Amino acid sequence: MAKGSNHVVLVPLPAQGHLLPILYLARKLAAHGFAVTIVNIDSVHESVKQNWKNVPQQDIRLESIQMELKVPKGFDAGNMDAVAAFVDSLQALEEPLADLLAKLSAARAVSCVISDFYHPSAPHAASKAGMPSVCFWPGMASWASIQYSQPSMIAAGYIPVDESNASEIVDLPGLKPMRADDLPFYLRKDFYHKLGRDRFLRQLERAAKDTWVLANSFYELEPQAFDAMQHVVPGKFVPVGPLFPLRDRKASGMEASLRPEDHSSIGWLDRKPPKSVLYVAFGSITVLSPGEFEELARGLEESGHPFLFSVPREMVPEVGDDRVGEFAERAARSGAGMVVRWAPQLAVLQHPSVGGFLSHCGWNSILESVSSGVPVLGWPIASEQNTNCKLALQERGIGMELADRSSDGVASAVRELMASEELRRNVAEIGRNARAAATAGGSSHRNLHDFFHSCQDREILLQIKQQSLI
Of 1, 383, 61, 54, whose CA–CA distance to 192 is shortest? 383
> In the prediction, which pLDDT does 256 show?
66
- Its domain, for residue 159, covers 7-243+439-468
In a domain, 327, yes or no: yes
Give yes or no: 263 in active site: no
Shared domain check, 55 and 11: yes
Please tell me the predicted confidence (pLDDT) of residue 414: 98
**pLDDT for residue 235:** 77
Considering the domain boundaries, does residue 1 fall inside one?
no
For residue range 384-408, list pLDDT tens digits in order.
999 999 999 999 999 999 999 999 9
Q: How many CB atoms lie within 10 A of CB 455?
A: 23
Count up the domains in the chain and report the number: 2
- Same domain for 49 and 85, yes or no, is yes
**116 and 162 housed in the same domain:** yes
Query: CATH number of the domain that 288 lies in?
Result: 3.40.50.2000
39: three-class secondary structure by DSSP: strand
Residues 381 and 272 in one domain: yes
Separation of alpha carbons 454 and 451, rounded Å: 5
Q: How far apart are alpha carbons 459 and 457 in whole angstroms?
A: 5
Query: What pLDDT does 196 receive?
Result: 86
Could you confirm whether 18 is annotated as catalytic?
Answer: yes
* Least trusted range by pLDDT, from 70-74, 302-306, 311-315, 342-346: 70-74
Active-site pick, 45, 76, 116, 124: 116
pTM here? 0.93
Position 371 in a domain: yes
Regarding whether 354 and 379 lie in a shared domain, the answer is yes
Average pLDDT over residues 32-47: 94
Phi-psi region of 223 (alpha: psi -120 to 50; beta: other; left: phi over 0): alpha
Average pLDDT over residues 50-78: 88
| 286 and 189 within one domain | no
Average pLDDT, the chain: 92
Same domain for 339 and 428: yes
Q: Do 102 and 169 sit in the same domain of this protein?
A: yes
One domain, residues 257 and 376: yes
Domain assignment of residue 79, yes or no: yes
Query: What is the per-residue pLDDT across 106-151, written as a single tens digit (0 to 9) for each?
Result: 999 999 999 999 999 999 999 999 999 999 999 999 999 999 999 9
191 and 278 part of one domain: no
Q: Is 164 among the domain residues?
A: yes
Let me know whether 294 and 405 are in one domain. yes
Residue 220: what are its φ and ψ, rounded to 5°? -65, -20
- pLDDT tens digits, 172-199: 999 999 999 999 999 999 999 888 888 8
Please say if the pLDDT value at position 429 is more than 60.
yes
pLDDT band at 260 (very low <50, low <70, confident <90, very high): confident
Is 66 domain-assigned?
yes
165 or 254: which carries more pLDDT confidence? 165
- Tell me what pLDDT residue 72 has: 85
Domain identity same for 69 and 157: yes
Does 13 fall in a domain? yes
pLDDT at 2: 38
Nearest to 344 by CA among 452, 283, 262, 466: 262
| Active-site position among 18, 32, 119, 305 | 18
Query: Domain for residue 2, yes or no?
Result: no
